[in-house]
Structure 1
Amino acid sequence: MKALLKELPTLIAPVVGETLMLYLATSKESTSSVLVADRGHVQMHVYFVSKTLSGSDVNYTPMEKLVYAFVHTARRLRRYFQAHPIVVLTDQPIRQVLYKPEVSGRLAKWAIELGEHEINFSPRTAVKGQILADYLAKTMVEIEASKERLVLTSLEGKEYTYALRFAFTATNNESEYEALLSGMRIAQQLGIKCLDAYVDSQLVANQVNGLFEAHDASMQSYLELVQEMIVKFDVFRLTQVPWGQNKKEDALSKLATLAFDHLRKNVWVEELTQKSIDEKSTVAPIEEESPNWMTPILKFLIEGMLPTDEKEARKVCMKAPMYTLVDGALYRKSFLGPSLLCIGPNQAKYVIREIYEGYCALPSGYRTIAAKVMCIGYYWPTIHKDAAEVVKTCQSCQQHAPISRAPRHPIIPITVAWPFCKWAINIVGPITACSGLVFPVKSSAITEPSSKENHSGPGAKT
């Protein structure tokens, strides 16, 4: 051990005119590079550079990230690049990518920027300094990312471990407040009424307990949120513990940033995209009329009460097994998909209007509208009826809908096209003209026509 401590690698200063070698490495969210000098077949470290990718840089292709790491190193170590020849040891075709004739965009700009230096590319025959570059690319996430840990322990000693990862920058005290608020939210969702919380931040513990005052605006906002959450518990105690007694949680927070993926098997992982104190856009809720169709089912599921009418009570008992309560909201169970949130008449009208007339909406039939309503997770008993009413009352659909040429009522078929084609009138006796325009007729009869005489004239015999 003493021998190893004596020979620890240290950074050295390069000799004038000495050729330096560069190793590059990238990961999903960071890049790194190591500049080394060859001294007696031993590579000595001259400098190392690392950078965390953010914004659109994360969307670069692997080759673009590698070239970007090269450019970033040249900018940071400009004096070394101007005073020494640089040999890039890599197993990637960086030279072919930078200097091909059809290159354009950011790669062309980077190629021009690197053209002022004496740079050569050589295949990497051995790992050597590449190990340090890969290590920096992996551990850079731990340096830059915000992280926190959370462990819930029941009275029986059972532990529920959570690893929190923040997609925003936060100070140590803000991270402690975020972890405390997350734990209180989880405990509230589990229905816990008595909660003992332990934090290793003396500032957070004393501010919540009233011993310290919060002067910073963000600390005041966090303190107000915690006090609002405390009211929801019957008993709440917050205790500050030394860092020495919090080693397990500290190790968990480091693992959550260093090796994030493998924690999903045994640890619940949650990524927070927004601070708890940031203002969130709220929409005025739609007030429902009471009672509505959900009222009897809710009373039966919560209080066990049934309507006084025997028929209605029987209906409620038959329908109740198809519904369930989740956080006080009524859901209808589904056989082939997730449970559907039950809503009242006013919310139902709003949902149908949004689907039928909202942004990117396409007027369609009532069956399609009902299917879309259930696909987005809503339910009420009269979905098809309400959708049909909306379609019928749509003014634009009535104006631009195709005109139907079908008859209003169903057509009744008739076996014979001409009802009286089989009948004829046979007049008995001649018709003679007389004064007063009177035509006397002795007798008339309706008979079946024969094949020989279909239309008998005057003087026909019977």
Structure 2
Amino acid sequence: MLVVKHLSGEYEQRDPRTKAYATKVKDASLSFETFELSQIGRENNGRADALSRIASAETQSLTGSIYLTEAKMPSIEKRECLEIHQGTDWMTPLKNYLEKGILPMDRREALKIKYRASTYTIINGRMYRRSVSQPLLRCLNTEEQHQALEAVHEGICGEHLAGRSLAFKILRQGFFWPTLKADASEYAKKCVQCQLFATVPRQPPEEMTSVLSPISFAMWVVDIVGILPTSMKQAKYCIIAIDYMTKWVEARPLSAITEEAAKKLFLEHIIL
């Protein structure tokens, strides 16, 4: 009775699962020429009642005339699928203006597109960037950008160039996009082969000299650490002093970085 009343609309459907099942039944009913859902009296639903108890029965005790199918998920659950959107890239507003004369409603954005469009042109449906000293550069979308970076950086003749050199080589090949230099730098940083086998300069920029202390507590190194989690006394910095010879450490919390706080550390905890 509950199922029939829910489907007919006589009973309100408050449970989301109940609403989902009712919606699925209504959608399935559209596939039939005639559809009727009616309540069966208790005296006539013995077989349905026995069928409903099979779910809790042991499968070993069932006869061979009963076939069971395990449902991996409820029929009302929708499977996730990848939505395909025809998105826009950086060339879309420029193409709209060059081909159709369409500009955004915002006056400032429209002026920006007009100014940028002066260095681009459309040839056979492809957008190219014009330059005074270079030939036409073919503009690439997001997918083509990744392919160009991969081919030039680690392709058949790839030299695993660094970011700036990689960007200039792509330009010499005749390709362009506005974030070329930044994208090339990030791509080179994430290359596994470059991280493993790149030549790293290990020579220091200047000749190393050792710092020696003649006696204890004669030479100190001071540093300030922060910002740290705020303590109960509103301290969020820490001033640290270390003796060069003995490696003795003095550390005090600070609420603010001031000259007086550094003097106080030396006067109270080191000199006195």
**Same fold, TM-score > 0.5, yes or no:** no
Q: TM-score, normalised by structure 2?
A: 0.42
Q: TM-score, normalised by structure 1?
A: 0.25
Structure 1 or 2: more strand by fraction: 1
